[in-house]
Structure 1
Amino acid sequence: MSEWMLELKGVSASYGAIQALQGVSLRVRQGAIVALLGSNGAGKSTTLNAISHLIEPSAGEIMFDGEPIRRLRSDEIVRRGLVQVPEGREVFKDMSVRENLELGAYLRRARAEIAQDLDRVFQTFPRLKERSEQKASTLSGGEQQMLAIGRALMARPRMILLDEPSMGLSPLLVEQIFETIQRLNREQGLTILLVEQDVRLALRLASHAYILENGELSLEGPSDRLLTDPAVRRAYLGV
């Protein structure tokens, strides 16, 4: 097993004629929380989509647990234990909470294990158990974010790509979601690559961070060092 759960080596990607990523290289150590930061349009979500093969990288290599995955289909990547929680939650709103969660296990066949994992998700997010038969469209934004994370957990991932989990949520709900993320990492050893608009919060949660500007990495380092970096404080922390 590799020391690095995820490695990107010189990854580039385009949307038509628009170059979205240019030679991005980053590494996520097994069991770590790493933040990927930057302004809107910097290429953060594109990076996650390239890892999950929701878009086709034009160059570079992507390694997961020491094995190349750049040319694998998205479902094959999920089967290996790498799951993305997309920006905007993207839950199936006409389906119930329970049905959404069960869809997260669509690649699995062991029904007893799936039932155990469903119970575990309900323990992690008691509010989802209370609303298990409701349509996802009736949930609040925070509850939908819980559902999106819970759905990812139903795949039994070893690593999760989290895209803007705080978007549109109240400060209280953001705090609850981030406490859960930290607990999943600490108690279950879940490796996490986090894209987050709240830079201060992300740097406090992560051990290491990368900063993207215009599709290229501009800065990286331990989170505590970046929190005190003058350029980061000016550009992202309003100091």
Structure 2
Amino acid sequence: MSKELDNQEQIIQWFNNTYTKRGFWYLRPKKAYYIYLEILKAQPNQKLLDIACGLGRLLEASKDYNVKPYGIDISSVAIMKAKEQFPDFNLSIANAEKLPFENNTFDIITCIGSLERMINTQNALKEMLRVGNKNCKFCFLVRNSETTSWQFFKTFLGLKNKKGHQDAKNLKEWTAIFNTAGFEVINVFPDQYPLQKRLRRRSLWLKKVNYKQLVNNNEPIEKANEFLFLLKKHD
């Protein structure tokens, strides 16, 4: 077995174990996923593909937008559990580097918190471009390598999750990766869920937080724990 295949099997095993032991506790709540669909301006009957869909939380949120949901994940446990919860969804076990779909199939494509875990990022991005139609919009949440927590705990102390292929890059590096692959960056936002939780803590307990609305943040985007990219195919 090649080193790449061996690493892939290790990643699959880690996610299978994680979803077996932790299940939905491993994921953010459903309300945290609305923002991606809002940024994409999801419309009824659009075909949505969620890459590394896990247990289907984003696809669950997408039901409120009447899109046609598809999801793939390398974890057989994740897909099995997702199908138990959402039998009507189009879910399949697949690798992002070899998507089981025809060219130009999807209108919107998401990959939330998983792109940095893929072994060959460029191959995965090329596949996403292939299955997205000419007007397809893409939404990726990716980790920032320049945060204090990442540099100290993950890098200096060596606590990076190697079995789960945990990785991160800074804003400039992610932008270059997307540009090289053939994407055009429309906008970049800081990860919204931590800001939404902060807003809720600062508000009166009776005040509701609109999880579908972007939260303004005065900190430089470079300091965000994770980056939320909105992209399209390069013209």
Greater relative contact order (Cα < 8 A, sep 6+)? 1
The structure that is strand-richer by fraction is: 1
Q: Same fold (TM over 0.5)?
A: no
The structure that is helix-richer by fraction is: 2
Normalised by the size of structure 1, how large is the TM-score?
0.35
Normalised by the size of structure 2, how large is the TM-score?
0.35
